Amino acid sequence: MSYFHNKRVWVTGASSGIGRDVAIKLSRLGAELILTARSRDKLEEVKKECGNTKTHIFEHDLSKLDTIDDLVSKVADQVGTIDILFNNAGISAYSSANETNFTVYEQVMKLNFLSVVKLTKCILPQMISNKRGQIVTNTSLSGKLGSKKRSVYASSKHALHGFMDSLRAEVYEHNINVNVVAPGFVNTEIGMKALTEDGTPYGNNDRGHESKGMDVDKASNMIIKAIETNKRETYILPFMSFTKMALYIARYFPGLASVIARNYNEEDNG
């Protein structure tokens, strides 16, 4: 029997990309799904692909932090308690620190970090009461490595790693697992939708997501395996890749990593 059979799994950012693919695969593994994203039409399409009557959709903009409490109450009333929370909703950003409007930092931090903290904190009491649960968060390799034009995005993802590391230590005694999955480039539209210095989308797919990005099917399989095996932190990267090499360089040769960071340009490597 599948690890996910009859478990209630809440997937945010479920209308496209990794969230969509993970949701469809979990439905085939017998999970009862709660899907959240801003577009109801896209969620309906995902629900149809799940082919599963145990799929519940909740249209919601998670960047509206003050409404998350009501969302969680609605899910609890209509569906019940959550076994696995997959924090996946997020937005990318690509612009230099000097040129980026401060409002862009606020916008990205609201969705990428603060909404995750708020939703996790809302779900946590029921998991503590039940003495079981699993909180999985999709961060990014940018949560471990900073590079040019990534100050907005990397900040939000570094913050997630810090929060989840601390949370993991706190909830261990309550039998709650905390997992982080950190993808590198994945072939989705996230690069095109990345916010630029004034908050408008980047609009091009020229920074490696399409040409060098991991296929979303492979990435979602790795994520599902990481959840099932309760991996503390998993890097969603090809076995042999520049990004994987850069990760280990940063860990063991930080001086060299800083040289790479200041010379690396995503637009030259698309």
Task: Show which residues are catalytic.
Answer: 153
- Residue 180 contacts residue 144 (beta carbons within 8 Å): no
Name the burial class of residue 189, with classes exposed (0-12), middle (13-18) and buried (19+) by CB atoms within 10 angstroms of its CB. middle
Beta-sheet strand order (sheet of 233-236) = 55-59, 32-37, 8-12, 84-87, 133-138, 176-183, 233-236
Which bin fits 207, alpha (ψ -120 to 50), beta or left (φ > 0)? alpha
Encoded tokens for 96:
């230099």
Angle, alpha carbons 177-182-188 (nearest 5°): 125
Contacts 24+ apart (CB under 8 A), 48-54: 49/24, 50/23, 50/24, 51/27, 52/27, 54/27
136-173 burial code (b ≥16 CB/10 A, e <16): bbbbbbbbbbbbebbbbbbbbbbbbbebbeebbeebee
